[in-house]
């Protein structure tokens, strides 16, 4: 089997209304679905960011229950020519950049957090991972 990409990834957030404000209103990710107390889903390019309330999600039987906690991580990719604009845009939104890293490829990525402390990253396309 050969996978083409990861289609969706998931964060577990207790305050979905706060998640809606941050991811939809501040980061401007298009909203796909919102069931208060259960989940909220966003479009991120050709991928989907799923945000589940872990207290609800772990009780499910279909699809199988899943949940997590702690500081989870998601990286968002932007076009290389938009990387610096993205960094400035994040700052203009009042979001603190917590770190930036220059990788072995010479590309830089930067980190910030959502309201529940999850670690988010902005990476330039084809920048931080060697071509495989």
Same domain? 54 vs 81: no
- Judge whether residue 132 has pLDDT over 70: no
Q: State how many domains the chain has.
A: 2
Model pTM?
Answer: 0.93
Q: Which domain holds residue 129?
A: 71-132
3-state secondary structure of 2: coil
Residues with Cβ within 8 Å of residue 76, at least 6 apart in sequence: 44, 120, 121, 122, 123
Mean pLDDT to the nearest integer, 10-30: 98
- CATH number where 24 lies: 3.10.180.10
In the prediction, which pLDDT does 26 show?
Answer: 97
Q: Are residues 25 and 77 in the same domain?
A: no
Percent of residues, the chain, with pLDDT higher than 70: 99
CA distances to 75, 81, 103 from 52, in Å: 18, 33, 31
Residues 75 and 132 in one domain: yes
pLDDT tens-digit series, residues 90-102? 999 999 999 999 9
- Considering the domain architecture, whether residues 79 and 115 belong to the same structural domain is answered as yes
Task: Convert the pLDDT of each residue in 23-73 to its tens digit.
Answer: 999 999 999 999 999 999 999 999 999 999 999 999 999 989 999 999 999
Looking at the structure, tell me whether residues 52 and 79 fall in a common domain: no
């Amino acid at each position: 089997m050969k996978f083409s990409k990861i289609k969706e990834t998931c964060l577990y957030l207790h305050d979905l209304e706060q998640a809606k404000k941050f991811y939809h209103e501040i980061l401007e990710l298009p909203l796909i679905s919102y069931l208060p107390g259960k989940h909220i889903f966003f479009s991120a390019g050709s991928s989907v960011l799923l945000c589940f309330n872990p207290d609800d999600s772990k009780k499910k039987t279909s699809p199988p229950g899943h949940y997590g906690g702690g500081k989870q991580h998601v990286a968002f990719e932007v076009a290389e020519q938009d990387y610096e604009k993205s960094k400035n845009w994040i700052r203009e939104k009042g979001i603190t950049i917590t770190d930036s890293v220059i990788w072995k490829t010479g590309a830089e990525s930067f980190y910030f957090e959502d309201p529940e402390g999850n670690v988010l990253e902005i990476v330039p396309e084809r920048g931080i991972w060697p071509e495989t």
